[in-house]
Chains A and B, each alone.
Chain A
């Protein structure tokens, strides 16, 4: 690879030791971050104005039943022990029972998460497919109308409330024009036809070969995914533009041009090649942000994903569900961050 040529002789002789140390450090920092994350959710759970015992036994339980459950939950132990129990449970994938439907929270999360994943993935694909070319062109044709357009697109994206944009989208494309399916993942006639394999309906229906379900699912997915995609586009195009500008002002670009290389090659083979790592980092971050941004979008589109799940649980004071959902989203967030960090370390020789 081109990157390998950049690393000097000295590095090639002992490339492994610093890498291992770096990896160990990364793993250590993930562990500490995760521990902190769990500690914060634990504290939030403790300061909740909801009595977890009352929530289980009900208000008319006798004092002895109350006491029994109180001890069962370990609430009579010191806080540090309670945190230990909580850690133990979470490490075993146990977030407790949902108070609302008396099922394990982890099962609920496994059921709703694919819906969010489907939405955020399609959104990111749209954002990347449009945002990267837009950013590159905006940087190359700096000051042109297309640069102005990219600027406006980004500004509007940074300023518009996502839930409002979703509502407006529903109003125009569903209510007025009738181009897309309404809220929800499928029309009622199409529900429960395709067996659940991945939980992502587009993939499930494609596996089952049921294209009418696929079409219907797509008509429901396209609007919320476009809304999320727009936010991703705003961010990615802006970052691409600034990365490209930085490269295009570098001396090696001038050299390539002086050598008489075509502008196309200069841009794509030289400048763009050097921003790939930065770009992947940005895309990973934007993906993480979409998972979070989907909270409000899911509410608008009645999308049964993790955002809807957390919010519904919140409004009905189902604390185990809220904390379980928060930890899950936090964990994915951390992992995506680590992933982009790692990419940097592996592919960018300067970071070593």
Chain B
């Protein structure tokens, strides 16, 4: 892009008199991005996540070896072995390649949960908040019941009922993750519900469905996004925990939690087998936490000081 067009784009984004809804929306995104860019920790988080996305997208091209290829004559080789930078595991598989391929599984789980849980929470919360009455009472009671359960134990019980596997782990984590979103969405809805513009829309003849989807949802999104980003780390840790317990992704899948579980048996003699996947989990969830903190400062300035 030449400097001229980028200047033009900047002016278009920062104009105080946008000509379309699209331009206004893009402009506010750009403003947010400018604030976020001033936060070095958040940018560091974004950098890690972009790297992770690239790793996952081009895993077969980047990984030096096949993540499933066993080589029993080369088992448990330490870090820095020629051809195996991060060593090999108990079946002689290259740990680096497994980590790179494992990033796909992590992203897959996070993406699915981050879609399912907030959408379910948004539905329940807005309907509950807007309709009120006994609908509100029932839905909020259900939410409270799910909140009352310890999350990991509930996920364990669900996986026990559904059977082990990635999809069931996703379902179990989502089932335990939606209630906070419902609470947030309901609280937002309650503040929006009685505002003048909603009454205006209602007087124009809009039904509850239209009001909720077109006028309430858009306003709930930003607080949900912050919450999702801050939750991502927890989702990764929960998924890794289920994998570690043997209830998530099944072997020989290179899921990071399952890799730690495999390496656990050799922890005292061959420490790197369990250490490396743990470092990967730590790095990625740290990145999500840093980004989440930064986003909260941009989208939710009232909590920014905390």
Known: A32-B141, A326-B154. A161 touches B282 (CB 8 A): yes
Answer yes or no: B150 CB below 8 A from chain A CBs.
yes
Please give the distance in Å from A298's CB to the nearest CB on chain B: 11
Q: Which of B18-26, B113-121, B190-198, B243-251 contacts A (4 or more CB under 8 A)?
A: B243-251
Pick the contact of A292 from B153, B247, B306 — CB < 8 Å?
A: B153
Q: Which residues of B contact A36 (CB under 8 A)?
A: 141-142, 144-145, 148
A164 close to B245 (CB less than 8 A):
no
B274 close to A164 (CB less than 8 A):
yes
Answer yes or no: B271 CB below 8 A from chain A CBs.
yes
Give the interface residue-count category, chain B.
Answer: 35 or more
Distance A48 CA – B158 CA, assembled complex (angstroms)? 9
A153-210 interface (Cβ within 8 A of B)? 155-156, 158-164, 167-168, 170-171, 175
Q: Which residues of B contact A117 (CB under 8 A)?
A: none
A161 close to B281 (CB less than 8 A):
yes
Mark A127-165 against chain B: 1 for CB-CB distance below 8 A, else 0. Answer: 000000000000000000000000000011011111110
B285 close to A168 (CB less than 8 A):
no
Q: Which residue of B lies closest to A325 (CB)?
A: B153
Q: Which of A52-60, A213-221, A314-322 contacts B (4 or more CB under 8 A)?
A: A314-322
B290 close to A161 (CB less than 8 A):
no
A155 close to B153 (CB less than 8 A):
no
Distance A36 CA – B289 CA, assembled complex (angstroms)? 33
Pick the contact of B151 from A40, A160, A292 — CB < 8 Å?
A: A292
Pick the contact of B306 from A45, A245, A310, A322 — CB < 8 Å?
A: A245
Please give the distance in Å from A159's CB to the nearest CB on chain B: 4
Please give the distance in Å from B74's CB to the nearest CB on chain A: 23
Known: A159-B233, A159-B289, A161-B237. A167 touches B267 (CB 8 A): yes
19 A–B contacts from the bound complex (CB under 8 Å): A33-B148, A36-B145, A40-B154, A44-B161, A47-B162, A158-B233, A159-B282, A160-B285, A161-B240, A161-B281, A162-B241, A164-B260, A292-B150, A299-B245, A310-B156, A326-B149, A326-B157, A330-B149, A330-B150
By a beta-carbon cutoff of 8 Å, the part of chain B in contact with chain A is 141-142, 144-146, 148-154, 156-163, 233-234, 237, 240-241, 244-247, 257, 260, 264, 267-268, 271, 274-275, 278, 281-282, 285-286, 288-290, 305-306
